[in-house]
Amino acid sequence: MFEGFTTEKIAVENATLNVRHGGIGPAILLLHGHPRTGATWHRIAPQLIDAGSTVICPDLTGYGQSVGREPKDDHSSHSKRAVATDMVQLMETLGHDKFHLVGHDRGSYVALRLALDYSSRIDRLVLLDCIPISEHLARADARFATAWWHWFFFAQPEIPERVINADPDRWYTGSADAMGEENYAEWREATRKPKVIRAMLEDYRAGLTIDREHEEADKAAGRRLDMPLLTLWSLHDDLEDLYGDPLRIWKDWATDVRGFGIDTGHHMAEEVPDDLARELLSFLTGGAH
């Protein structure tokens, strides 16, 4: 897994980040989702490198082997703004002032915040299985609450930590066959660390509070993504079922947006890596679908 990559711990102002990076060419930062680590990209990253890119795959702050701040009552230490700043500092340390950005699931919310706060750094943006958190919450009805109940469970103080840490194997499901043995082993080790569980839950707590406030302030101020945006979603997941065409939502946030559904389940980088790599390369190298 990640043959030829450099794996190291890099200290930024408020975190120490576990990161894999390699290749020569335009830089692509890949941000994973919950409850994965940067290893989720192991079937994608080599294809991007073979196509002439530099690829950077960190564990998000607090996830995997990345260690960040202690939680705060207002959840600001785990806000998408805080984590996005960590990622910008990581890229600066690696010598990349401007780069392409890809985010999936929780990593897509970090990517959105990074693109809004540091727009001059981003050439092209890809958001996978994503609409803004504030757009989810503005549409939250009984169907959403039933399908995405974990958002509200994770927001409760202390209870989800006790439930998850009591039996991580029952809570988190995955398999070595589907994920790849090394990716699975890394993910399984991470989900057995109480500090990682706490950080992942704080990610969700921030989402319902400070992250939502930041997004609503952006929308009220008329801030928009000014770089080309590609959004892809899993046809076997429920984004279309809940909202119809996600592009209709994204057109309120981005000037240049395109996207479509992919025939896959939620963890698309693991399930359909060849299809996803092809679409990423087409878009990031200037093509259009």
pLDDT tens across 54-106, in order?
Answer: 999 999 999 999 999 999 999 999 999 999 999 999 999 999 999 999 999 99
Q: Are 54 and 33 in contact (CB under 8 A)?
A: no
- What is the per-residue burial (b if ≥16 Cβ within 10 Å, else e) of 160-183? beeebeeebeeebebeeeebbeeb
Residue 227 has pLDDT above 50, yes or no: yes
- Rounded distance, CA 184 to CA 267, Å? 13
Residues 6+ apart with CB under 8 A from 260: 232, 289
Which residue out of 59, 86, 105, 203 is catalytically annotated?
105
Label residue 286 by pLDDT band (50, 70, 90): confident
pLDDT tens per residue across span 21-33? 999 999 999 999 9
pLDDT of residue 161: 98
For position 237, what pLDDT does the model report?
Answer: 95
Hey, what are 123's tokens?
């050439």
Give the count of beta carbons closer than 10 Å to the beta carbon of residue 238.
16
Q: For residue 105, indicate whether it is catalytic.
A: yes
Q: Mean pLDDT throughout 197-214?
A: 98
Beta carbons of 83 and 110 less than 8 angstroms apart: yes
Confidence (pLDDT) at 180:
97
Q: What is the DSSP letter of 128?
A: E
Q: Residue 158's pLDDT band (boundaries 50, 70, 90)?
A: very high
**pLDDT at residue 289 tops 80:** no
Pairing of strands 122-128, 99-104: parallel
How far does Cα 244 stand from its chain's mean position?
22
Give me the pLDDT at residue 285, please.
87
Q: Which value, to the nearest 10 degrees, does the dihedral of the CA atoms of residues 260, 263, 265, 270 take?
A: -100
Average pLDDT of the chain, as a whole number = 97
State how far the Cα of 76 lies from the Cα of 195, in Å rounded to an integer.
Answer: 17
| pLDDT above 90 for 48 | yes
How far, in Å, CA of 226 to CA of 235, rounded? 27
Between CA 61 and CA 43, with CA 242 as vertex, the angle to 5 degrees is 45
Whether the pLDDT of residue 36 is over 70: the answer is yes
The domain ranges of the chain are 6-284
Q: Based on the number of CB atoms within 10 Å of its own CB, is 75 exposed (0-12), middle (13-18) or buried (19 or more)?
A: buried
Pairwise CA distance, residues 222 & 254, whole Å: 11
Neighbours of 35 (CB within 10 A): 22
Both structure tokens of 16: 């120490």
What pLDDT does 229 receive?
98
Chain center to CA of 30: 8
pLDDT of residue 288: 41
- The one-letter code for the residue type at 278 is R
Among this protein's residues, is 266 annotated catalytic?
Answer: yes
* Residue of 34, 226, 245, 266 marked active site: 266
CATH code of domain 6-284: 3.40.50.1820
